[in-house]
Chains A and B, each alone.
Chain A
C-alpha cells in the first residue's frame, strides 16, 4: 500500500472550447475509498473516463496503478472494474447470462467461473432473480448486478460512477457496506456522487465544479479547513426569508439557507467575530429579541457551498 493508486497532474479534457475537466491534480492512495463530489456536469464522468483509459486527456499526465494512460490502457484493463453511470449490461440477457458473459470476457472459465458467479449471486442477493432479464430489474437490482459484474474478475481498483442515483436509502446503506468490505480486502475505490452523506463516508474527497477541483482532503480536514464559520439563526420565523435576502446581499456572507424555522448562515472567516457581526445585521426591531444566534459545527454541505461559491438558494 505504499505507492498511490492514481496520480494525475493537470489532467484536462476539452470538448471544443468547453473545458469539461481543467487541470485536475489527484493523488489517491491505495486501499481507500475516494469520492468525486460535484453537481451535474462538473466533469465527474469525464474524469473517470480518462482514468479508465476511455478518453484521451487533452493535456496533463495520468498514471493509474503505475500504468501511463492512455497508451498503457490495455494492460490496465484487467486490473480495474468500471460501473458506468448508465446501466451498461445487456437488457435482453438474464442476470446469470450477463454475469457469465462478463466472466468469460475476463477469461474465467469452467468451474472457476461457475463458482465465482454463484458466489456473487449470493453476495449481491441475486439468486431469486437469476433468470430475470436485466432490462426488467428495479434500480437497486440493476445496481447490485452492475457491481457484481464490475468485480467479477477481482480487480484492484474500482470506478463507480454515481452508483446510487436510482437506489433507496436502505439499499444505499447496504451498498456502502459492500464498498467497505471491498475496501477491507485491499481494493481502491473511486466513487462519484452528489450526495453529501455518501461523500462523508469517503476516506478522501475531491470537490469538483465546472471541471476544476475546488478542494480535496478527508471530509474532516475539509470541514476544519473550511474558510467560513457556520451560524444558525433560530426563531421568529416570520420575515426569515426577508432576512435571508438581506444577508446574502452582503459580500462577507457566503450563503444563507433556510432550514424550517432556522436560517443557516455561512460567514466568511475573514470576519473576525462572526456572532457579533451577524447580530449587528439583524437590525433593531422587536423581532431581534426573539432570534437566537448560535455557532454550529460545519457540515460537508457547508464545505461544498463554500468551495463552489454557490450561493445555495434552495434547501437540500
Chain B
C-alpha cells in the first residue's frame, strides 16, 4: 500500500515538472518528427549530381557524345573544363570538383579499336586482343568511399551505342529476390532502426539527468531524509518516461508508415511489448549513469559515451555481421543492438516474440538487473 502510494507521489511530481518544462515537452515530439524526416529524406546512398570536371584532349565529336552520355546517368555533372591534367588535379585538391574525366588525345582511336569499353570482354576473343586499354580515365577524390563507388559504377558503362555497335548484354550469374524491401529503399531499413536510436537518445538522457539534477539543486538532501525507498524512487522516476517513449516510438512508426510507406508487417502488440522492454532498459541505463555522475555535465558525457556505440554498433548504421568480433561483443552488451534486431524483425519480417526470444530475454534481464542494481547503488546518505 505505502509502496505504490509513494511511487504515485513521485510519478505525479515528475509529470508536473515535465508539464512545466515546455522546451522538453516540445522536444519529446520534435526529436522523433524531425529526425525521421531528416533520415527519411536526406540520408541517401544514391549518389547523384556530383560536381565533376572534364579534361578533353581529344576534341572529337565522340568525346562530346561520351561526356553527354556520362552526364545523362545523373551521377556527375561537368561544372568545369580544364586544359591540363595538372589543373584538374589541383581542382580536386581545392575541393572544386569530386572527380575529373580525362579524354585522351587518342580517344577516338581507342574507341574505334572495337574495344568494349570498360565492359567485361566477351570471353571468346579474350586471347586475340592482348593490348586493350580503356578509352578514358577518371581521377577521383577517393576519401569518400561512397563517391568512389559511384564513379566505379560508371566504369562499366557500355559504350557500344556510341560507336553504333550492337549492345552487348551479359547474362548475370545469379538471380536475386529481395524480400521485405523489394524496391530496395533505404528508409524501409532505417525507419525501424531509428526508433531504437531516438529512444536510446531521449530515454537515457531523461533519466541520466534526473537524479543528478536533484542532487545539484539541493533537493536530494531533503528527499533522502524522507522514508522514500530507493526502489520506489527508481520506479517512480521511470514510469512517466515509459509513456513518453511509447509516444515517440508511435510517432516514428506512424510517420514512417504513412509518409515513407514503410510496411508494418508485425502485430502492433508485439511491437509494443518489444518497445516497452527497450524503453525500460534504456531508462534503467540512464538511472545507473545518474547514480554514478556527480554533475549534470558528467551525466551528459556518460550518456554520449553510451549513445555513440548504440548508434554506430547496434546494426542501425552498418550490418552487425560486417563488424569485427570485438565490436560485436560490445554491441551485444548494448540494449540498442538487441532492439534494432527485434524491431526490424517484427516490423519488416513479421517475426513473433518466440522468434526473437534471445533478444527479448536479454532486454528483460537488462531492465530488471539494472533496476535492482540502481536501487542497491543508490545511497540514502551523503557520504
Contacts and interface: CB of A to CB of B under 8 A. Distances in A.
Nearest to A87: B218
Contacts of A93: 13, 16-17, 20
**Chain A binding surface SS class:** loop
Interface in A90-127: 90-93, 97, 101-102, 104-107, 109
Interface stretch (B100-108, B177-185, B222-230): B222-230
A157 B146 CA distance: 71
Interface stretch (A75-83, A186-194, A243-251, A289-297): A75-83
B381 A70 contact: yes
B173 interface: no
Contacts of B383: 55-56
A90 B9 contact: no
A78 B6 CA distance: 14
Contacts of B225: 52-54, 77, 80, 82
B94 interface: no
B5 interface: yes
A5 interface: no
B169 to A, nearest CB: 69
A32 interface: no
Contacts of B355: none
A106 B6 CA distance: 8
Given A105-B227, A109-B5, A84 B222 contact: yes
B222 A88 contact: yes
Interface residues of A, number: 32
Contact of A97 (B13, B21, B220, B224): B13
Contacts of A109: 5
Interface string A144-160: 00000100000000000
Contacts, number: 80
A86 B218 contact: yes
Interface in B1-36: 2, 5-6, 8-10, 12-13, 16-17, 20-21
Contacts of B381: 53-56, 70
B222 A89 contact: yes
Contacts of B224: 54
B382 A104 contact: no
Contacts of B221: 54, 82, 84, 86, 88
Contact of B17 (A80, A87, A90): A90
Nearest to B219: A88
Interface bracket on B = 20 to 34
B9 A101 contact: yes
Contacts of A84: 218, 221-222
Interface string B343-383: 00000000000000000000000000000000000001111
A313 interface: no
Nearest to B233: A105
A172 interface: no
B143 interface: no
Given A91-B217, A93-B17, A104 B8 contact: yes
A93 B8 CA distance: 16
Interface string A43-75: 000000100111110000000000000100110
B382 A55 contact: yes
Contacts of B227: 74, 77-78, 105-107
A210 to B, nearest CB: 20
Contacts of B16: 92-93, 97
A29 to B, nearest CB: 23
Contacts of B219: 88-90
Contacts of B5: 104, 107, 109
B21 A92 contact: yes
B10, B20, B227, most chain A CB atoms within 10 A: B227
Contacts of A49: 382
A105 B17 contact: no
Given A86-B221, A106-B227, 11 more contacts: A55-B381, A70-B381, A74-B380, A77-B227, A82-B221, A82-B222, A88-B222, A90-B13, A97-B13, A133-B20, A149-B222
14 contacts: A54-B382, A74-B380, A77-B227, A82-B221, A84-B218, A87-B218, A88-B218, A88-B219, A88-B220, A88-B222, A92-B21, A105-B10, A107-B6, A149-B222
Closest 8 CB pairs between A and B? A104-B9, A88-B222, A82-B225, A86-B218, A88-B218, A54-B382, A105-B226, A101-B13
